């Protein structure tokens, strides 16, 4: 039974904190009914209000995703917007990532978003309308050393979004990518927390390079935008008549994406080397690293 026939319906993943939580509140204030989901229900339940229904949804769990979408259909009768916001960053050198970490990063940031789109698209096609907003990052178009696994998952999300956009537009569905830079959430802290066992491993050949990286992350945090900035961009993407394929959502992302993609690979490598202190080791040390000989 449709309990919200006069309201637009949004389903948002990753509403425990940050962008997802703020977006849920903003949409509700603008008259939407929001199904605000989180992997742990307790993290979202205090969002409950007349216009916000909290739900448990784990984007790495098939049964959880199916159940949440079915509940939205049953209660609302339609789905006008899916906002794929759930995600996290795994920091550390690519060489030292376990394959379990690789799989979890992609399951959360890319595969979960695709599966959610697959689950809502039959409803949107039947309606002849709908918008899917995938929250990516400026790191979905440029790679930063030591968060390459995160970048890889967001590159995948961007490619999936492009394909979905072209494939579904004839059904009245619009697929939009949001690309924030740094935001004032616990995102960067969580990224480094996920990598503590790597960052604190003084035996790692990458250890001395990770300290400048951590300082760089701290600088990004200091220059970051509030999550409200990104939430307003998402609202615009949902309500404008002709949404763009991509919205660069914060000032730092606009600067980075205006400059870095224009540089050659060599120039980008040199720039990150300068910014993160990635200096070549002495020749003897380099030989030892390359050959494994002491």
192-206 residue pLDDT tens: 555 666 667 888 888
Tell me the pLDDT band of 187, cut-offs 50, 70 and 90. low
CA 13 – CA 83 distance, rounded (Å): 6
Query: Is the residue at 294 inside a domain?
Result: no
Residue 129 lies in a domain: yes
What percent of the chain is modeled with pLDDT above 90?
73
> Does any domain span residue 229?
yes
Check if 16 is active-site. yes
Residue 86's closest CA among 141, 122, 156, 38? 38
Is there a catalytic annotation at residue 154? yes
pLDDT attached to residue 6: 73
270 has a pLDDT exceeding 80: yes
Give the active site residue among 150, 206, 224, 247: 150
- Give the mean pLDDT of the chain: 89
pLDDT tens track for 75-109: 999 999 999 999 999 988 999 999 999 999 999 99
Is the pTM higher than 0.85? The answer reads: yes
* Residue 4 in domain: no
Specify whether the backbone of 55 is left (phi greater than 0), alpha (psi in -120 to 50) or beta: beta
* Residue 207: per-residue pLDDT: 86
Residue of 16, 153, 161, 224 marked catalytic: 16
Annotation marks residue 247 as catalytic: no
Domain count, the chain: 1
* Active-site residue, from 152, 153, 154, 247: 154
How confident is the model at residue 220, as a pLDDT?
A: 76
**Which one of 136, 153, 161, 224 is the catalytic residue?**
136
User: Residue 191 sits in a domain of what CATH number?
Assistant: 3.40.50.720
Q: Where in the sequence is the domain holding 219, given as residue range(s)? A: 9-278
* Cβ atoms 18, 91 nearer than 8 A: no
Residue 86 lies in a domain: yes
């Amino acid at each position: 039974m449709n309990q919200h026939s006069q309201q637009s319906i949004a389903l948002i993943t990753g509403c425990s904190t940050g962008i997802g939580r703020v977006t849920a509140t903003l949409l509700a204030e603008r008259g939407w009914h929001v199904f605000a989901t989180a992997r742990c229900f307790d993290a979202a339940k205090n969002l409950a209000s007349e216009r916000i229904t909290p739900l448990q949804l784990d984007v790495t769990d098939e049964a959880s995703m199916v159940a949440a979408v079915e509940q939205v259909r049953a209660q609302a009768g339609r789905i006008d917007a899916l906002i794929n916001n759930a995600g996290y960053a795994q920091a550390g050198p690519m060489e030292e990532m376990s394959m379990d970490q690789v799989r979890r990063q992609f399951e959360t940031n890319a595969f979960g978003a695709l599966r959610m789109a697959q689950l809502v698209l039959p409803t949107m096609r039947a309606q002849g309308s709908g918008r899917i907003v995938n929250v990516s990052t400026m790191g979905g178009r440029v790679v930063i050393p030591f968060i390459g696994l995160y970048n890889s998952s967001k590159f995948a999300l961007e490619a999936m979004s492009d394909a979905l956009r072209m494939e579904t537009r004839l059904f009245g569905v619009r697929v939009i990518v949001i690309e924030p830079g740094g935001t004032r959430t616990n995102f960067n802290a969580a990224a480094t927390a996920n990598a503590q066992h790597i960052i604190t491993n003084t035996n790692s050949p990458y250890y001395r390079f990770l300290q400048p990286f951590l300082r760089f992350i701290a600088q990004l945090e200091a220059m970051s935008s509030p999550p409200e900035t990104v939430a307003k961009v998402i609202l615009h993407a949902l309500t404008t008549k002709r949404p763009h394929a991509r919205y660069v959502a914060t000032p730092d992302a606009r600067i980075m994406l205006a400059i870095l993609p224009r540089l050659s690979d060599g120039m980008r490598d040199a720039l990150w080397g300068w910014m993160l202190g990635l200096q070549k080791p002495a020749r003897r040390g380099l030989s030892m690293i390359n050959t494994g000989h002491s």
